[in-house]
Structure 1
Amino acid sequence: MSRKNKFIVLFLITFCFCAVLTGSYTYFTKAEEMKSFKSDLYKISLKYESTWVKNYNYKERYEGPNGFFQVVASTGINMTVDDIARIDAEHVAKPYGSNPRISKITIDNVEGRLIEPSSDQFSEYQNTAEVVFKSPKSIIINGEVYDYIIIYADKYHINDIAKSVKFIE
């Protein structure tokens, strides 16, 4: 292999490695292959993989061979977004492994928290990660008031899904 070819290969390996470390890559397909999810219940919209289909065993869950997302609400009475993230991350079942990472994330100009699993996450949790954020307006489901939205998704798609969330009226 020539010196020039070795340099090109080394450059490509370095570029890919850096992209993985910085999270500057995407697992989504092209924009025209994306679908839009809109929930009047949770008052949000988001983008997801066009190959995913609704799982009717859940209220709001879509999944496919390469990932999933699910939207739920939390009451969060007398709690902050940090409290909810910490409680979820430190749950006795260790759904995010023994050392999950909690970081700040912005969801349509609202501060939220991203929970990413550690490498020792149990396989039955299917690489699940979580984003939690306060809804600009309370959500009422069956007469119960909820102030927080939680999106579960596989760790490969969670950032792109979170970045696509928009609040709707």
Structure 2
Amino acid sequence: MEDEEQLDLASRLTQDHHQSLKLWLRMLSCTVKIENEIRTRLRATFGITLPRFDLMAQLERYPQGLRMGELSKRMMVTGGNITGITDQLEQEKLVVRVADPKDGRAYSVKLTAAGRKAFAIMAATHEEWIAELLQDVSSNDKAQLIELLSQMKKHLNAADEK
């Protein structure tokens, strides 16, 4: 009987592991498909890359500006990448670097008025694209997916805190 219980446990573990992997791959493939479509549309419509759009989105949430290190952490990319993206956006007069009055070596990055205006147009279009890409998913299914993914995120965050 004990051998059967161990075999059953091993079978369940394998099945659960397989199911977890299948879930991860399904989520990843959906994310990559949507992200690639958004990348293509951003470039074709606005001549902007997704990382530049993402940096502007971060700055839109923080009108007082963010330090480079904070941008790097929020976007989960290296400081060098943030510097390059910021340089491009600054050349286009969409962002500005502002010296930190408390620390002369540090500065924050803010959207300019032109940057806020350009981002508002891009963000509205981006939202329409996402709605279009997910239009075949019912409202109930979207709500259920949001709830399930929120629970998953809580579990993952709890695991990080251990």
Q: TM-score, normalised by structure 1?
A: 0.26
Larger radius of gyration: 2
TM-score, normalised to structure 2's length? 0.27
More helix per residue? 2
Instruction: Decide which structure has greater strand share.
Output: 1
